[in-house]
Amino acid sequence: MAAIVKSAREAFATGKTLPMSFRRKQLEGLLRMYDEGKQEIMDALKQDLRKTTFEGTLYEIEILKTDVKGILRNLKDWTKEEQLPFNALSFTDNASVHKDPLGVVLILGTWNYPFVMALQPLAGAIAAGNCAVIKPSEVSANSSATIARLLPRYLDKDCYKVFEGDVTATITLLEEKFDYIFATGSVAVGRSVMAAAAKHLTPVTLELGGKSPTYIDDSVNMERTVKRILWGKLINLGQTCIAPDYVLISKARQQEFLDVASKVLAEYYGDNWQKNPDLTRIINERHFNRLKKVLDATKGRVAIGGQTDQKDLWISPTIIVDVDPATDSTMEDEIFGPILPIVNVESPEAAIKFIRNRPKPLALYIFSENSDLIEKFKTKTSSGGLCVNDCVVHTGYVGLPFGGVGTSGMGNYHGKYTVDTFCHKKAVLQRGISAVSEKLGDSRYPPYTNGKIKLMSFGIGAIHKFDVTYNKFVTHALAAALGAGILFAGLALKSL
């Protein structure tokens, strides 16, 4: 492990990751890998999760490709040095924000979307000029091996290294000093990573999980609402970090939700769900047993589904009602599977209170046609992301950041936000050395006098008024006044 990190560090020290041409070539390599390696990627996803070609193509490969293409298109813009606006009080200086790469970064992926979780952060790390060690999840072993096999064919082998290993190996790897750690996983993984990072004071992004609530207001069209919720819940058989975890709905509309859900599930998956090729499988026996325990222990009523088959790692889409949120097994931890408990709340205010009394979620979903109510949820709740009248889709929405808050994580990524994550924004100030520049600043020198205090206080207090944005405002105001003056003068002349 030490040797892997050392060699990545040596590669970074050569400066080869700095030229834009190098970064561009690596990103283009990633794109080629997604095209040429598509079949190998699909095969691995099938072996690990029995993921369908539809979900593998759209929710792994296309997400990765779109992100890389966006980064390539904006590479120059997102990584360029940013000049501060012209300021009349400091016109002899040159101030800018320079975007430095951080060095050697570690990326820890998880198993539910094994390619996206390991490789989407990598694109931003490359764009920002870093070297990286990528550690895919050992739980999705075939995908991990595929990443280890494919990546060296398309990327610089010295700068980008894949490390494969189990939890013990990962913990040992975390003893190495990295310049940044980007980790995706459970809250427990987040704690372990952060503790290890603290030893070296390494900054982290933690993309974690938790229970994502879904509130359904009485104003909604139930058919559209249920279709969207069940789609979001059942892609990857519920093993999605932002899958709707539970539903909050009034007792009055619960039966309608269940009736529509039965109809929609029949439309989606026919009458033998286990045989339907569009449904993925639970990743392994450990997770199957975890979910089975939740099902066995619930005191709620299974209204839809509830079947399990250990040999097939199958748990059917299941909806549970009459759930006591304080004690039920379904309301303890993130479900991360196809089980959807329903909790009754009698008003939007009660739903807001319910959400606020629990850890801040990674995603919050509201289904409502009442704009005041939507605004209320926006301002009165805190969550990594908020999606109104749909679920999950906000993660692939180009231009939006993705990340958690509180226990659901820290930091964010996707597109420009990933590139920003892997850059250090270095303040660079180049002072003028002319006689004028020296004169402008010489009141700071001793001996200190009251006159110098006044002059310096004026300068410090007024500096923001002299930047170009303020000047623009003044210029526009003057131009408007001049225009009005000319108009009045014209009218006055005409009336003579």
Q: Does the footprint of ligand NAD cover residue 167 (CB under 6 A)?
A: yes
Q: Does the footprint of ligand NAD cover residue 171 (CB under 6 A)?
A: yes
Q: Does the footprint of ligand NAD cover residue 344 (CB under 6 A)?
A: no
Q: Looking at 164-172, 274-282, 453-461, 486-494, which segment touches ligand NAD (CB under 6 A)?
A: 164-172
Q: Which candidate, 219, 227, 228, 223, places its Cα nearest to that of 249?
A: 219
Using CA atoms of 97, 103, 104, 110 in order, give the dihedral in degrees to the nearest 10: 0
Pick 249 or 392: Cβ nearer ligand NAD: 392
The answer to whether the beta carbons of residues 107 and 122 sit under 8 Å apart is yes
Q: Does the footprint of ligand NAD cover residue 184 (CB under 6 A)?
A: yes
Burial class (CB in 10 A: 0-12, 13-18, 19+), 132: buried
Strands 301-304 vs 318-321: parallel, antiparallel or unpaired: antiparallel
Our answer to whether residue 207 is catalytic in this structure is: yes
Residue 113 beta carbon to ligand NAD: minimum distance, rounded to whole angstroms: 6
Count of CB atoms within 10 A of residue 307's CB? 13
HSE, CB side, 13 Å, CA atoms: give it for residue 42: 13
Residue 192 beta carbon to ligand NAD: minimum distance, rounded to whole angstroms: 3
Q: Looking at 181-189, 256-264, 309-317, 471-479, which segment touches ligand NAD (CB under 6 A)?
A: 181-189
Judged by CB under 6 A, the residue of 104, 108, 343, 351 near ligand NAD is 108
What is the footprint of ligand NAD within residues 320-339 (CB under 6 A)? 334, 336
Q: Looking at 92-100, 111-119, 267-275, 372-380, which segment touches ligand NAD (CB under 6 A)?
A: 111-119
Residues 6+ apart with CB under 8 A from 265: 230, 273, 304, 317
Burial class (CB in 10 A: 0-12, 13-18, 19+), 188: exposed
Residue 452 beta carbon to ligand NAD: minimum distance, rounded to whole angstroms: 54
Catalytic residue among 207, 285, 334, 346: 207
Pick 184 or 381: Cβ nearer ligand NAD: 184
> Looking at beta carbons, which residue is closest to ligand NAD?
209
Cα angle: 98, vertex 102, 107; to 5 degrees: 140
Q: Does the footprint of ligand NAD cover residue 202 (CB under 6 A)?
A: no
Helix residue ranges, H only, 158-284: 167-173, 187-200, 222-234, 251-269
What is the footprint of ligand NAD within residues 204-223 (CB under 6 A)? 207-209
Pick 101 or 121: Cβ nearer ligand NAD: 121
Pick 185 or 348: Cβ nearer ligand NAD: 185
What is the layout of strands, in order, in the sheet containing 82-83? 82-83, 94-101, 423-430
Residue 173 beta carbon to ligand NAD: minimum distance, rounded to whole angstroms: 8
Pick 246 or 257: Cβ nearer ligand NAD: 246
- What's 6's DSSP letter? H
The answer to whether the beta carbons of residues 228 and 280 sit under 8 Å apart is no
Site map (CB under 6 A) of ligand NAD, residues 136-155, x = contact: -xxx----------------
Residue 324 beta carbon to ligand NAD: minimum distance, rounded to whole angstroms: 23
Gap between the Cα atoms of 118 and 161, Å rounded: 12
> Which string of b and e fits 279-305 if b means at least 16 CB within 10 Å?
bbbbbbeebbeebbebbeebebeebeb
Q: Does the footprint of ligand NAD cover residue 198 (CB under 6 A)?
A: no
Give me 103's structure tokens. 């060095």
Gap between the Cα atoms of 428 and 405, Å rounded: 31
Q: Does the footprint of ligand NAD cover residue 409 (CB under 6 A)?
A: yes
Give me 93's structure tokens. 């200086």
Site map (CB under 6 A) of ligand NAD, residues 421-460, x = contact: ----------------------------------------
Q: Looking at 22-30, 109-117, 151-159, 475-483, which segment touches ligand NAD (CB under 6 A)?
A: 109-117
Judged by CB under 6 A, the residue of 362, 364, 387, 392 near ligand NAD is 362
Catalytic positions = 207
Give residues in contact with ligand NAD (CB under 6 A). 108-112, 117, 135, 137-139, 167, 170-171, 174, 184-186, 189, 192-193, 207-209, 241, 334, 336, 362, 404, 409
